[in-house]
Amino acid sequence: MRAIIGGAAGTSMGYLKDSSTMSLQCDALFGAIEDAGLDPAEVDGLLAAYSIVEPQIMMADALIEYSGLRPSVAMTIVNGGVTAAMMVMQAAMLIEQGYCRHVAVVAGDNRLSGLQRNAGATIASLGAQKQWELPHGLTVPAAYALIANRYMHEYGVDESQLAAIPVTQRRHASLHPRAHKRTPISIEDVLQSRMIATPLRLLDCCPNSDGAGALIISSADTARDMRHPAIEILGAGQGHSHEFVSAAPSLLDFACKQSSATAFERSGLAPKDMDFAQIYDSFTITLAVGLESCGIYQRGEAGPAAARGELGLGGRFPCNTHGGLLSYGHSGAAGGLFHFIEAVEQLRGDCGERQVEGASLGFVHGDGGILGAHCSVILGRA
């Protein structure tokens, strides 16, 4: 039995005073249950992601206690930025194997209001191997800067071309009422923003945000009872190559190639069939690499394509139509979940000014660590 997405909900993004990780997650969870038209008692599976602000080894069970839900299957999944995509894939497998009929997928954190300012260095170093990388001062932005420098050198892509990515994302976010960053920016704004790790500047990096999101993954035979048109999970795949960037087999070739190839093969579709993509974009280079390694663009073409306007609404291949992590906001594992929520809304035709005309198929991709763990998912209008 193929799995469908029957419910989706997200909180507002930004600085949400007096919020907590658990309150945000419950707001999104019950929003998604209502969106699906279910009674909370019908949710028999729960997959929860990690939190940095309120760390819980057993987050799923903590959320069960906090929310009052009583699912028969519950799991906590922790794998960095790819966690959301993996939870969607895992939920689909639970449905297809008959363990559950309605699985809630939940992630959220109050990273902006809940973290002390001096905690930023700790967060930035979570991906650094403590014995070999951290002692040398490597942070997450610096690790991505290594990849950006190699990419720009190899393919001749310049900073102004990559700067078109956050400009495009911000334009999309300006049309989304829940987005964190909605003030339009220009390429000049990006190039004049302060340097974080050469060549990545402030506006090449996603902001910390408060926020949460949730999905309801259900058995396809429940579609007739849902409030909205069902969105099918047509195929999914994973790819893994490394945890630490110092051990990466390549700074140009990543396992998103494997995850996307598997997802497309299982769906019987190809990149050319997709109407849009929602791809993890913690930094501008993350999106450029993802677009190319997933087979949507050839090597070195994503930056120039962004500069030509191809990734924008009305362009050849609309990407991150909610604004992505770069502008919609990044609240931990929920960052990747917002890409799915946007894909669902696009496929329902509910996006208003940012709607991709005639959208019926979409590609969603998440990655974790420094481009080390990947999960790709193909979604389609049922």
Residue pLDDT, tens place only, 285-338? 999 999 999 999 999 999 999 999 999 999 999 999 999 999 999 998 999 999
Do residues 234 and 378 make contact, with C-beta atoms less than 8 angstroms apart? Answer: yes
The CA distance from 87 to 47, in Å, is 6
State in Å, rounded, how far the first CA of the chain is from the last one. 13
CATH code for the domain of 79? 3.40.47.10
Average pLDDT over residues 207-223: 96
Distances, alpha carbon 140 to alpha carbons 23, 92, 154, 255, 299, in Å: 28, 31, 21, 19, 23
pLDDT attached to residue 225: 86
By three-state DSSP, how is residue 208 classified? strand
- The reply to whether the predicted model has a pTM over 0.85 is yes
pLDDT at residue 130 tops 80: no
Instruction: Tell me which of 1-5, 23-27, 120-124, 278-282 is least confident.
Output: 120-124
Amino acid 355 reads Q
Residue 105 lies in a domain: yes
Rg (CA), the chain: 19
Model pLDDT, residue 52: 87
Helices (H), 80-209: 83-96, 111-114, 120-124, 140-155, 159-173, 187-192
Q: Helices (H) and strands (E) in the chain — how many of each?
A: 13, 11
Confidence of residue 33 (pLDDT cuts 50, 70, 90): very high
Contact indicator for 375, 238 with CB cutoff of 8 Å: yes
Percent helix, strand, coil in the chain, to 5, is: 40, 20, 35
Query: Residue 353 falls within a domain, yes or no?
Result: no
CB atoms inside a 10 Å sphere around CB 123? 16
Provide the 3-class DSSP secondary structure of residue 336.
Answer: helix
CA distances from 262 to 158, 203, 238, 376 (A): 32, 33, 7, 8
Query: β-strands 276-279, 361-368: how paired?
Result: parallel
In this structure, is residue 58 part of a structural domain?
A: yes
Q: Is residue 64 domain-resident?
A: yes
Q: By mean pLDDT, which of 7-21, 116-130, 363-377 is the weakest?
A: 116-130
Reported confidence tier of residue 126, pLDDT bands at 50, 70, 90: low
Residue 372 confidence (pLDDT) above 60: yes
Q: What are phi and psi of 381, to 5 degrees?
A: -70, 125
pLDDT value at position 172?
98
Average pLDDT over residues 131-157: 88
Lookup result for tokens 């002692």:
135
Q: Give the structural domain span for 26.
A: 3-116+208-225
Q: Answer whether residue 112 is part of any domain.
A: yes
Range 346-352 average pLDDT: 97
Query: How many independent structural domains does the chain possess?
Result: 1
In the three-class reduction of DSSP (H, G, I as helix; E, B as strand; rest coil), residue 108 is classed as strand
**Domain membership flag for residue 14:** yes
> Cα–Cα distance between 263 and 173 in angstroms, integer?
28
Q: Specify if 339 maps to a domain.
A: no
Per-residue pLDDT band at 121 (split at 50, 70, 90) = very low
H or E segment to which residue 324 belongs = helix 324-327
User: Cα separation of 108 and 54, whole Å?
Assistant: 10
Q: Is residue 141 part of a domain?
A: no
List all residues 6 or more positions away from 65 whose beta carbon is below 8 Å from its beta carbon.
none
Predicted pLDDT at 122: 47
